[in-house]
Chain A
Amino acid sequence: MSSNTVISAQNLSLTFQTGDGPVHALKDVSLEVEKGDFVSFIGPSGCGKTTFLRCMADLEHPTGGTLTVNGTSAEEARKSRAYGYVFQAAGLYPWRTIGGNIRLPLEIMGYARDDQEARVKRVLDLVDLAGFERKYPWQLSGGMQQRASIARALAFDADILLMDEPFGALDEIVRDHLNEQLLQLWDRTNKTICFVTHSIPEAVYLSTKIVVMSPRPGRITDVIESTLPKHRPLDIRETPEFLEIAHRVREGLRAGHGDAV
């Protein structure tokens, strides 16, 4: 484990006891995430990618192995507010304005009033929603709502951003746009991002590291270091290099799944 390691999992396992016997959501998962990495987790449903992310967030409790976040346990990391978590649904409160929604974690964490205002302004700029502070969620499109939820996760000083299929419910065009924006945001903020997805192009386009997972039991079958440059215009997705990485991801998924993916 180098000094730059932000998240480190060693032989991590999580077994749910159900009426039909134990379910191995994660089995012997080991992974190191370095500071500033953009790591994507990809795999079919049931492969444990979301469970792994939830373990990092201390929303699930591993039954075996060790997991450290920022050098501490996941629980301590959560309590020290080390990460921002973006869920699949934006989950904005309808009774709060966009600004009020972004202020919510800041109020909970006890930031000073004027600091809250400054931070809301700053993150709204970051996600390109300046001027929408006083609007209510229902006045925004789905893509804009998801951007507001990303802004909310960025508002407090967490170096880690955990994202669980944040664009899964959005259409292709909006998704492309948000992917591009997310890369710019990552570039500007220098955060470490863990990103769960089931889209191969999305994973390859965004990541510095792609973690391919497979189900029953949930495990890592391949970890691919991306050779793509940090600056990535959308049309990089048609270059041979991109297609080669995508091919490797697909191979990994197929290998882990037996045959058909």
Chain B
Amino acid sequence: MRNLVPVLTILAALLALWYAAAVALNAQWAQDQATRAGTTLTLPALVADTWSQDKPKLPAPHQVALEIWNTTGAMVLEGRGFSKRSLFYHSWITFSATALGFVLGTALGIALAIGIVYNRTIDMSVMPWVIASQTIPILAIAPMIIVVLNAVGISGLLPKAMISMYLSFFPVVVGMVKGLRSPAPMQLDQMRTWSASAAQTFWRLRLPSSMPYLFTSLKVGMAASLVGAIVGELPTGAVAGLGARLLAGSYYGQTIQIWSALIMAATLAAVLVGLIGLVQRITLKRMGMA
């Protein structure tokens, strides 16, 4: 609880900054409206207007909070918590693609890392491609993945998950290569003195040693997966998902909707990364590596 005061102070400062920015950015439109109506605005009226516009350049925090409430909690209270207007529904759509992409990406990343650590040819031939894959902007490749997969009859969840996988396997490969190589030469020599097989060395030494690296990679990978899923939703024509909400919001100038979707995405990311952090703490503590 000692941390509470500084945390709240920072939060208050951010909110104050946000409100101030809302005034600065939205004032022009309020002034224009007033001029057109032939009136002049007093300062309090101007401020009140900048914080309550329908399509502000920057919505005020309470407007976003109200929009989030209206599309989450309020709908749950009405018993429509999972209707197509609910952010819970859109979050679930995005989450399912994120989770599938994350699982696929983690599996691919670990498999590649094992290949790279155990096989010099794979190390030399695959690693450059792994790095090259991440230099291509995801926004450029995402529509192509969607189009190509759609052409072969795959649509819906999987194409989005593929984009998530594309982004999330990379940190897992890099982390796990480092992790699987983390045992000291002495520990590997020791396995040799016991004449241990490669599989025994892997399961009993290399894999447990790599756990701290794996969890760090998983956190980065999870955040990347979410970005991938949202990007994957953009070119699909904005049907459902947080990405679709962002796109629809920008089509119709619904800045409040954009911001509420953004904050929902950030919350989702925080929860998912936090969950991994929790599993990490428990696992590493039990392994005596924390």
- Contacting A at CB under 8 A, from B176-225, are 184, 186-187, 189-197, 200, 204-205, 208
A81 x B287 contact (CB < 8 A): no
B194 x A87 contact (CB < 8 A): no
B204 x A137 contact (CB < 8 A): no
Closest CB-CB distance, B153 to chain A, in whole Å? 46
- Contacting A at CB under 8 A, from B3-21, are none
Q: Which partner residue on chain B sits nearest A79 by CB separation?
A: B195
A59 x B194 contact (CB < 8 A): no
Q: Is B128 an interface residue (CB 8 A)?
A: no
User: In the complex, what distance in Å separates the CA atom of A88 from the CA atom of B197?
Assistant: 24
Mark interface residues in A148-188 (1 if CB within 8 Å of B CB, else 0): 00000000000000000000000000000000000000000
Q: Which partner residue on chain B sits nearest A60 by CB separation?
A: B189
User: In the complex, what distance in Å separates the CA atom of A104 from the CA atom of B196?
Assistant: 10
Q: Is B131 an interface residue (CB 8 A)?
A: no
B204 x A104 contact (CB < 8 A): yes
User: In the complex, what distance in Å separates the CA atom of A89 from the CA atom of B204?
Assistant: 19
Task: Report the stretch among A36-44, A90-98, A213-221 that lies at the interface.
Answer: A90-98
B194 x A95 contact (CB < 8 A): no
Please tell me the size bucket of the interface on A. Answer: 20 to 34
Closest CB-CB distance, A56 to chain B, in whole Å? 11
Q: Is B289 an interface residue (CB 8 A)?
A: yes
Mark interface residues in A81-118 (1 if CB within 8 Å of B CB, else 0): 10111011101011100000000110111000000000
**In the complex, how many residues of chain B place their beta carbon closer than 8 angstroms to a beta carbon of chain A?**
20
User: In the complex, what distance in Å separates the CA atom of A91 from the CA atom of B205?
Assistant: 11
A95 x B289 contact (CB < 8 A): yes
User: In the complex, what distance in Å separates the CA atom of A58 from the CA atom of B200?
Assistant: 19
Q: Which residues of A sit under 8 angstroms from B192, Cβ to Cβ?
A: 58-59, 78
Q: Which residues of A sit under 8 angstroms from B191, Cβ to Cβ?
A: 108
Q: Is A249 an interface residue (CB 8 A)?
A: no
User: In the complex, what distance in Å separates the CA atom of A108 from the CA atom of B200?
Assistant: 7
Q: Which partner residue on chain B sits nearest A136 by CB separation?
A: B288
Q: Is A57 an interface residue (CB 8 A)?
A: yes
Q: Which residues of B sit under 8 angstroms from A16, Cβ to Cβ?
A: none
Q: Which residues of B sit under 8 angstroms from A85, Cβ to Cβ?
A: 189-190, 193
Q: Which partner residue on chain A sits nearest B200 by CB separation?
A: A108
User: In the complex, what distance in Å separates the CA atom of A85 from the CA atom of B189?
Assistant: 10
B196 x A91 contact (CB < 8 A): no
Closest CB-CB distance, A16 to chain B, in whole Å? 15
Q: Which residues of B sit under 8 angstroms from A79, Cβ to Cβ?
A: 195
Closest CB-CB distance, A6 to chain B, in whole Å? 16
CB < 8 Å: which of B189, B208, B288 contacts A87? B189
CB < 8 Å: which of B190, B196, B200, B288 contacts A137? B288
Closest CB-CB distance, A146 to chain B, in whole Å? 14
B288 x A138 contact (CB < 8 A): yes
User: In the complex, what distance in Å separates the CA atom of A137 from the CA atom of B288?
Assistant: 9
B204 x A78 contact (CB < 8 A): no
User: In the complex, what distance in Å separates the CA atom of A85 from the CA atom of B190?
Assistant: 7
Q: Which residues of A sit under 8 angstroms from B195, Cβ to Cβ?
A: 78-79, 81, 108-109
A78 x B288 contact (CB < 8 A): no
Given A59-B192, A78-B195, A138-B288, check contact A108 B187 (CB 8 Å).
Answer: no
Q: Which residues of A sit under 8 angstroms from B288, Cβ to Cβ?
A: 94-95, 136-138
B204 x A87 contact (CB < 8 A): no
Q: Which residues of B sit under 8 angstroms from A89, Cβ to Cβ?
A: 186
User: In the complex, what distance in Å separates the CA atom of A91 from the CA atom of B184?
Assistant: 9
User: In the complex, what distance in Å separates the CA atom of A81 from the CA atom of B287?
Assistant: 29
Interface centre among B187, B189, B200, B205 (most CB of A within 10 A): B189
Q: Which residues of B sit under 8 angstroms from A78, Cβ to Cβ?
A: 192-193, 195
Q: Which partner residue on chain B sits nearest A88 by CB separation?
A: B186
Given A95-B208, A138-B288, check contact A57 B194 (CB 8 Å).
Answer: no
A sample of 25 cross-chain residue pairs with beta-carbon separation below 8 angstroms, ordered by A number, consists of: A57-B193, A59-B193, A78-B192, A78-B193, A78-B195, A79-B195, A81-B195, A83-B193, A87-B186, A91-B184, A93-B205, A93-B208, A94-B287, A95-B208, A95-B286, A95-B287, A104-B194, A107-B204, A108-B195, A108-B200, A108-B204, A109-B194, A109-B195, A136-B288, A137-B288
- Seen from chain B, the residues whose Cβ lies within 8 Å of a Cβ on chain A are 184, 186-187, 189-197, 200, 204-205, 208, 286-289
Given A78-B193, A108-B195, A137-B288, 6 more A-B residue pairs with CB atoms under 8 Å apart are A95-B208, A95-B287, A104-B204, A108-B200, A108-B204, A138-B288
